[in-house]
Structure 1
Amino acid sequence: MVIEKIARAILNVQSPFVTRVAIDGVDGAGKTMFGDELGRTLEALGATVIRASVDGFHHPRAVRYRRGRYSPEGFYRDSYDYAMLKQVLLDPLSPGGSGQYVSAVFDHRSDAPIHPGTRQADVGDILIFDGIFAHRPELRGYWDLSVFLEVSFETSIRRLGARDGTPMDPLAPLNRRYIEGQQLYLQECGPANHATVVVDNNELASPCIGSTVAKTESPF
């Protein structure tokens, strides 16, 4: 089973503090479901899991849409507040960090800040963080292990339509914003080349491990 194989690889990571794991992929790749199942599997194996998502670190609408409501570049470059993400979550959970973290700071639906409170992480905890663009240069150095979920854009649009009621037409302005914005990311950052493992997730019920990055000692 793919999830259990990745969970056991995570447990084998030698981290001096919190083991930080990213689940990346385009919209509709199944990141949240994959992250939740991975977290449950790790907990069943005795680990303490911290769950967080990039969706808790959106910029306000005024920033997200400053290049235009349907701008692909705006989607890629302006969606998330990476400075805040690093300040309150990733830096505190990194080696030498305080361990005092906040898992989310903004609700994009209400376009307002949220204040869930500060928590304390312990040595040996595992952060499972899901979200698009997780292999941007300013983030990729944080991950002790990372997964890139590969799906076709056809699959992505179909899942988003079923989940969010968005148009099924890939040429619809909203879908062009998402697809072309994510194509910018794929071209500029090559996330599949930086992930520890690539998982084909076109079939949610039967993900399969694809390529792995050639690291000193690959866990796969």
Structure 2
Amino acid sequence: MREADAAGARAELLGELATEVDALRPDPYVRVAVDGVDGAGKSVLAGELAGALRARGRVVVHASVDGFHRPRDQRHARGRQDPEGFYRDSYDLPSLERELLDPFAPGGHGLHRTHVFDARTDRPHVAGQEQAAPGTVLVVDGIFLHRPELRGRWTWSLWLEVDRATSLRRCVARDGAGSPDPADPANRRYVDGQLLYLREARPQQAATHVVNNDDVDAPALVR
């Protein structure tokens, strides 16, 4: 696909998705989740979706679940390579709900924080509180967003579908470390933890739409 055609295909899909979100009725907010495995392209697509909504005149708060990690010792309490620990213990769900999701819930007050922890430094990193006006769209990207504890939180959601090997190649390119081989024991925590999530939460069925993002230049709406 030519570069111009690829850019056009991505922009066209983003425009369609933004138009759909823009038409949703606030209560007084709209809550959007962009979910997928590691390396699916969630943060990039969520940022572009937020930009497309702003171009339509909407106020958008874009946050990532990665701003709500638990401390490393808690994340690894079941063992550094434990898949269930990756799924169950990575995120501080009470803080995510209290600081970000509850303020944007139906009838919420809108006074929120977009992050409370920096996993890279393994230290708290608490954002200042900001007030969201009625009609604001909250866009959250990250893994495990359709887990049972969060499933009812979203007005509208995406699941980004990618091949497992593709996702690992992207993670290696992003992080500058790791193995692109799904069978490598070093990937067991992440690959098997995400398989556990897929079995338990069935995000492909729970999401409003599924987008195949194997080709980032030409993502395709599956449903």
Instruction: Tell whether the structures are fold-level matches, with TM greater than 0.5.
Output: yes
Question: Tell me, which stretches of 5 or more residues in structure 1 are unaligned?
Answer: 212-220
Match of 1:172 in 2: 184
Distance 2:209 2:182 in 1: 28
Match of 1:215 in 2: none
The alignment status of 1:72 with 2:118, answered yes or no, reads no
Give the C-alpha shift of residue 173 in structure 1.
2.9
Distance 1:102 1:171 in 2: 38
The CA deviation string for residues 87-138 of structure 1, in whole angstroms up to 9 with x for no partner, is 0100011122111000000000000001220000111110110010000111
The alignment status of 1:35 with 2:46, answered yes or no, reads yes
Give runs of ≥4 in structure 1 deviating > 2 Å. Answer: 171-174
Match of 1:120 in 2: 131
Number of residue pairs aligned between Structure 1 and Structure 2: 211
Give the C-alpha shift of residue 145 in structure 1.
0.3
Match of 2:24 in 1: 13
Give the C-alpha shift of residue 35 in structure 1.
0.4
The CA deviation string for residues 59-108 of structure 1, in whole angstroms up to 9 with x for no partner, is 00011000111111110110001111000100011122111000000000
| Cα RMSD, aligned residues only | 0.8
% same residue: 49
> TM-score when scaled to structure 1?
0.94
> TM-score when scaled to structure 2?
0.93
Give the C-alpha shift of residue 144 in structure 1.
0.4
Q: Secondary structure at the match of 1:129?
A: strand
Give the C-alpha shift of residue 171 in structure 1.
2.4
Give the C-alpha shift of residue 174 in structure 1.
3.0
The 5-angstrom pairing of residues 1-220 of structure 1 reads 1-164=12-175, 165-211=177-223
Distance 2:135 2:119 in 1: 31
